[in-house]
Structure 1
Amino acid sequence: MPPDEPHQIEVHLDQILADRGITLTELAERVGVTPVNLSILKNGRAKAIRYTTLSALCRELDCQPGDLLTYKRT
């Protein structure tokens, strides 16, 4: 996939945060990333995510990677 082509990954962080009653800022502190970087991921603008960050998100949200990210077919 060319770098300028949009990806088809949907991020469900908003819904999971709402379900858990956790703020983005609180989650960022727990995971060890900045709220700005977490917001970029939440809004689907991230170009990549580290496995360590994904693991920390899953640990703190008690979920699986597939709960956070899905592939959207066009």
Structure 2
Amino acid sequence: MGEYLGTTGAGRPIHIGEGCFIGARAIILKGVTIGPGAVVAAGAVVTRDVPSGCLAIGNPAENKPLPERLKHP
């Protein structure tokens, strides 16, 4: 790819696990992995990996345990 602010090459890929939910207007930065069954809240800015079965919420996003009512059966 072309140059952007003095750097060359493409960014790092984002990996999204199976059964994830990503809310509206969430921003996921390059190189982040979203684990299987994780939930990213609407408007969250995800700057680091979200483990499986966690809820990412806020700006920057914090990882919290997923409440029982939100877990997939």
Q: Verify same fold: TM over 0.5.
A: no
The structure carrying a bigger strand percent of its residues is 2
Does 1 or 2 have the higher relative contact order (CA < 8 Å, sep 6+)? 1
The structure with more radius of gyration? 2
TM-score bin (small chain) = under 0.3
Q: What is the TM-score normalised by the length of structure 2?
A: 0.26
- TM-score w.r.t. the length of structure 1 is 0.26
